[in-house]
C-alpha cells in the first residue's frame, strides 16, 4: 500500500472551488432537512443569508473562471423561500430573509446572467431557481418602489406589512424539492 494520500483524502489538496461546493452542499442539506422535517431551529439566519448572498456575488464576479455555481441559487430558491415558514423560527426571520433578497437583487440578477451564459451546465436547475428568486425580489421591490421608500428601515417596514397582510409571496416553483 502506498503511503501517499489521495487528493480527495487530504484537505490541503482540495481546490477552493471544491470547498465552496462542499460548503454549499452542507448548507443546502441542513436547510432541506429542517424544512422537510419542519424543525424550527433557533439560529441567526440573517448571517447565513448574508453569507450565501455574498457567495453568489463573489461567484458572479469570477465569471471568467466559473464552470459551476455549486447550486447556491437552488439552495436559496428551493428551500429558503419556498419552505421558509417551515423552519424559520419567527416572523422576523422571514422578514429578514426577504429584506436580504431585495437588498441583493443586483447581485442575484448578475448571477442569473452568469448562469444564462454558462448555458446547459450541471447547474441548469439553478437558472430556474434564480428566476424564482428574482420573481420574489421583483414583487417586493415593486411594493417598496410604489411607496417611494428611501431608507432601509422603511423598506423593511413595507416588507413586514406585506408579509403580515398577505403572507410570503411565493410564485409557483417548478424545480423539484428533493434532498441535495
Of the candidates 106, 53, 107, the one whose C-alpha atom is nearest the C-alpha of residue 77 is 53
One digit per residue, the tens of pLDDT, for the chain of length 180 reads 444 444 454 555 556 667 777 777 788 888 888 888 888 888 888 888 888 888 777 766 665 555 555 556 666 665 556 677 778 888 898 899 889 889 888 888 877 776 677 665 544 555 677 777 888 889 999 999 999 888 999 999 999 999 999 888 877 655 555 665
Phi, psi dihedrals of residue 57, rounded to the nearest 5°: -65, -45
Phi, psi dihedrals of residue 70, rounded to the nearest 5°: 65, 20
Which residues have C-beta within 8 Å of that of residue 106, sequence separation ≥ 6?
none
The dihedral region occupied by 40, where left means phi > 0, alpha psi between -120 and 50, and beta the remainder, is beta
Q: Rounded distance, CA 110 to CA 137, Å?
A: 14
The pLDDT, as a whole number, for residue 161 is 94
Q: Rounded distance, CA 65 to CA 53, Å?
A: 19
Of the candidates 56, 156, 153, the one whose C-alpha atom is nearest the C-alpha of residue 102 is 156
Q: Contact, 108 vs 137, CB < 8 A?
A: yes
Amino acid at each position: 500500500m502506498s503511503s501517499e494520500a489521495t487528493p480527495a483524502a487530504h484537505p490541503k489538496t482540495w481546490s477552493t472551488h471544491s470547498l465552496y461546493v462542499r460548503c454549499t452542499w452542507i448548507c443546502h442539506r441542513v436547510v432541506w432537512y429542517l424544512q422537510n422535517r419542519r424543525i424550527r431551529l433557533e439560529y441567526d439566519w440573517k448571517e447565513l443569508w448574508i453569507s450565501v448572498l455574498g457567495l453568489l456575488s463573489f461567484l458572479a464576479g469570477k465569471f471568467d473562471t466559473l464552470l459551476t455555481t455549486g447550486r447556491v441559487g437552488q439552495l436559496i430558491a428551493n428551500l429558503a423561500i419556498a419552505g421558509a415558514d417551515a423552519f424559520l423560527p419567527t416572523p422576523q426571520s422571514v422578514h429578514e430573509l426577504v429584506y436580504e433578497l431585495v437588498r441583493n437583487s443586483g447581485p442575484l440578477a448578475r448571477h442569473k446572467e452568469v448562469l444564462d451564459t454558462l448555458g446547459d451546465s450541471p447547474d441548469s436547475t439553478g437558472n430556474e431557481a434564480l428566476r424564482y428568486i428574482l420573481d420574489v425580489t421583483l414583487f417586493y421591490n415593486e411594493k417598496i418602489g410604489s411607496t417611494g421608500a428611501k431608507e432601509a428601515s422603511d423598506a423593511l417596514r413595507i416588507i413586514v406589512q406585506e408579509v403580515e397582510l398577505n403572507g410570503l409571496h411565493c410564485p409557483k416553483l417548478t424545480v423539484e424539492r428533493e434532498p441535495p
